[in-house]
Amino acid sequence: MSKVKKVYEKLMSRQSDPNFTLDDLCYLLAKLGFALRHAQGSHIIAQRGPAYVNVQNKGGKAKAYQVEQVRNELKKHNIKPE
């Protein structure tokens, strides 16, 4: 299983939201075709067509509610790794 699929499965399992690293989340979003850009401060905005998410660094980890928002956005637009 590729790293993209492992990270995707970890995201969809909902078991590690508070411990999800920002690097893993950005890696997954980039591999799924999202354009990443840095915004003000520690915010990173990822966009792919109508799908749009904002994530923030908190000690190397993504905030748990933002991990959930990413999961919901991927489900809403049916975005999965190939």
pLDDT, one tens digit per residue, over 3-26 is 999 999 999 998 888 999 999 999
Q: Which amino acid is at 6?
A: K
What's this model's pTM, rounded to 2 decimal places?
0.91
Domain extent listing, the chain? 3-76
If the chain, 82 residues long, is cut into consecutive pieces of 10 residues, what is the mean pLDDT of each piece? 92 91 95 93 91 91 94 93 88
CATH architecture for residues 3-76: 2-Layer Sandwich (3.30)
- What size, in residues, is the chain? 82
Token output for 78: 């049916």
Rounded CA separation 2/50 (Å): 26
